[in-house]
Amino acid sequence: MRRLILLMSVSLDGFVARTDHTIDWLGDYDHGAQRHRLTLEALHEIGLIVIGGGVYPEMSKGWSGSDSPMARLINGLPKVVFSRSLESVEWNARVSRRPLDEEIPELKAEDGKDIVVFGGARIANSLIRERLVDEYRLMVFPTVLGGGKRAFGGEGEVSSLRLVDSKPAGDCLILIYEPAR
């Protein structure tokens, strides 16, 4: 069975974007050669990318126009874009309008390499709420935003996680957690 890995960059206070949805604060730091290497290694373990419809246009535009080693891996992987508003998608992707709690378990049951979710906050919150995430790979940046879009946004929800690994990567810290089941 494939695992669903949520890969997100977060501020020190747990936000993934400013209130206006921008992520300009990510460019303020040395992302580090180790972070780049770890991300490339992780992409070799991935067979499918899941993306929310809100971030799809920006991601497809940014990655499809690049020929970097990381972009070649990302561009070559199949993608499922969860959206109720997008009519069609390109970039080796298909649109799904099905509920996450129906389609994700089916995707996880297929043969193949793991599934990675690149974002955004809305799909991450839905996957967390439905308890569909098997591994959290959080790249924590030393920025305090003080408000914005939260990675973990369910009020009253309690999720216990178990630390699997941690690695410094430039100015960031990569934390890998699994649900404590």
Per-residue pLDDT of 99-147, as tens digits, reads 999 999 999 999 999 999 987 788 888 898 899 999 999 989 898 999 9
Give the pLDDT confidence score for residue 112 in this predicted structure.
94
Give the amino acid at 159: S
| H/E run at residue 166 | strand 161-169
Structural contact between residues 3 and 135, judged by C-beta atoms closer than 8 angstroms: yes
- Three-state DSSP at 75 gives helix
Q: Rounded to an integer, what is the distance from CA 161 to the centroid of its chain? A: 17
Give 17's DSSP letter: E
* Neighbour count for residue 38 (Cβ, 10 Å): 17
Give the pLDDT confidence score for residue 162 in this predicted structure.
95
Q: List domains and CATH numbers for the chain.
A: 4-13+31-179 (3.40.430.10)
* Neighbour count for residue 33 (Cβ, 10 Å): 10
Strands 172-179 and 135-141: antiparallel
How far apart CA 20 and CA 168 sit, in angstroms, is: 29
Structural contact between residues 56 and 115, judged by C-beta atoms closer than 8 angstroms: no
pLDDT at 30 over 70: no
- Put simply, whether the predicted model's pTM sits higher than 0.85 gets the answer yes
Q: Rounded to an integer, what is the distance from CA 153 to the centroid of its chain? A: 15
Per-residue pLDDT of 32-77, as tens digits, reads 566 667 777 778 889 999 998 888 888 888 888 888 888 888 999 9
